[in-house]
Homo-oligomer: A and B are copies of this chain.
Amino acid sequence: MKKATIADVAKHANVSKSTVSQYLNKRYEYMGEETRKKIAEAIQELHYRPNFMARSLKQQSTFTIGVIVANIIHSFSTKIINGLEAEFDKKGFHMIICNSADEPSKEKKHIETLLERQVDGFVIFPTGKNEALYRTLTMQNIPIVFIDRFIEKLEIPSVLLDNMKAMEMAVSSFNVHPLAVVTTSLDLQITPRVERLEGFRLALQKRNMEVLEEYIRHGETKELPQIFDELFSLATPPKGMIATNDRVSQELMLYVKKHQIRVPDDLQIVVIDEMPYTEFMTPPLTTIEQPSDLMAKQAAALLFEKIEMGTFKEMKNLYRFEPIFLKRDSTLL
């Protein structure tokens, strides 16, 4: 039971291949009523399905987008993937998902193989360490949109959270001090992490509060307990803490529980990224949510702009989204 081709259908219906092709492309004007029926029947009988690869080869378009996430398992990636899927589906596009695991070499490999697969565009959570490659892509006019992270001096639009504002919101929701902020590894200088720490410093300065670097910490996930230990061993332990992403927030919850730290009495907490548990923790966590669906929509819209019109409408590289403040009980103000 081999796969039927357009030629088989043509033979079966006693017409020519091009007539069948017309039919498939719904150009019914160019054929008789009965011809149409015969073709329809033949397609049914042979279980014929057009070969998308062949069409793509001819039409130089694959209707597929390559998506490279830094880590599928992270909550924000998942939300974005979910949002992108919905948008792509509307346009009849499919997506190939790859995982860079925040390793530049993997990212490079994936970009290259996706290129070989002739994807029509990319959505990438960039590692940031493949600048030459990003530049080549732009020069070859390949549609590409970054998400979550921004790479300077590149004409590639980035869709990201207004991290400064998020930290301003966070800081303004505490009525205690000193405040600490913790994020995950800074090895790759990943935009949201860098910006959130910087936003923290700025928010303090704005309030004429001293910026003490020992309260501004970062490290691999497994180092976080140690970091918390150090923080709470300071002469003046933090009274408020900001967890800048889901990883940190989870580790912090674990730590708080283990050490029976009372929230908000001993420690007030603000976390970035809405998670299922933030609402039913004791106490529920004051959270700053990223509007992931809007962000995915924006990314998809930008990408299609470039794919369909060959260029971005606006000469704008930065699309910042408003964080959503969810006041709950881990802060008091």
Chain A positions near chain B (C-beta within 8 angstroms): 1, 3, 47, 49-54, 56-57, 62, 64, 72-73, 78-79, 81-82, 85-86, 89, 94-99, 112-118, 136, 139-141, 246, 250, 253-254, 256-257, 275-277, 279-282, 284
Return A91 CB to nearest CB of chain B, in Å. 13
Q: 6 other contacts beyond A73-B78, A96-B96, with CB at 8 A cut-off?
A: A3-B140, A47-B136, A47-B140, A53-B118, A89-B98, A253-B280
The number of times this chain is found in the oligomer is 2
Chain B residues, Cβ within 8 Å of A253: 277, 280
> Could you tell me if B250 and A276 are in contact, using CB atoms closer than 8 angstroms?
yes
17 A–B contacts from the bound complex (CB under 8 Å) = A1-B139, A47-B136, A49-B116, A51-B116, A53-B56, A54-B57, A64-B96, A73-B79, A82-B99, A85-B97, A94-B113, A94-B114, A253-B277, A253-B280, A254-B280, A277-B281, A280-B281
> Could you tell me if B49 and A115 are in contact, using CB atoms closer than 8 angstroms?
yes
Chain B residues, Cβ within 8 Å of A72: 78, 81-82, 85
> Could you tell me if A117 and B52 are in contact, using CB atoms closer than 8 angstroms?
yes
Chain B residues, Cβ within 8 Å of A115: 49
Return A196 CB to nearest CB of chain B, in Å. 20
Return A292 CB to nearest CB of chain B, in Å. 11
Chain B residues, Cβ within 8 Å of A97: 81, 85, 95, 97
Nearest-CB residue, chain B, relative to A114 = B94
> Could you tell me if B94 and A117 are in contact, using CB atoms closer than 8 angstroms?
yes
CB within 8 A of A282: which of B139, B282, B284?
Answer: B282
> Could you tell me if B275 and A276 are in contact, using CB atoms closer than 8 angstroms?
yes
Nearest-CB residue, chain B, relative to A78 = B78
Return A258 CB to nearest CB of chain B, in Å. 9
Most buried by B among A118, A136, A284: A118
**Bound CA–CA A99/B85 (angstroms):** 8
**Bound CA–CA A140/B86 (angstroms):** 30
> Could you tell me if B52 and A1 are in contact, using CB atoms closer than 8 angstroms?
no
**Bound CA–CA A98/B139 (angstroms):** 31
> Could you tell me if B250 and A112 are in contact, using CB atoms closer than 8 angstroms?
no
Return A293 CB to nearest CB of chain B, in Å. 11
**Bound CA–CA A330/B56 (angstroms):** 55
**Bound CA–CA A250/B277 (angstroms):** 7
Return A82 CB to nearest CB of chain B, in Å. 5
> Could you tell me if B53 and A62 are in contact, using CB atoms closer than 8 angstroms?
yes
Most buried by B among A73, A280, A282: A280
> Could you tell me if B57 and A118 are in contact, using CB atoms closer than 8 angstroms?
no
CB within 8 A of A254: which of B79, B86, B256, B279?
Answer: B279
Chain B residues, Cβ within 8 Å of A95: 96-97
Return A225 CB to nearest CB of chain B, in Å. 13
**Bound CA–CA A52/B47 (angstroms):** 26
**Bound CA–CA A62/B52 (angstroms):** 11
Most buried by B among A53, A73, A79, A114: A53
Nearest-CB residue, chain B, relative to A56 = B53
**Bound CA–CA A92/B300 (angstroms):** 27
> Could you tell me if A50 and B116 are in contact, using CB atoms closer than 8 angstroms?
yes
**Bound CA–CA A266/B27 (angstroms):** 68
Nearest-CB residue, chain B, relative to A3 = B140
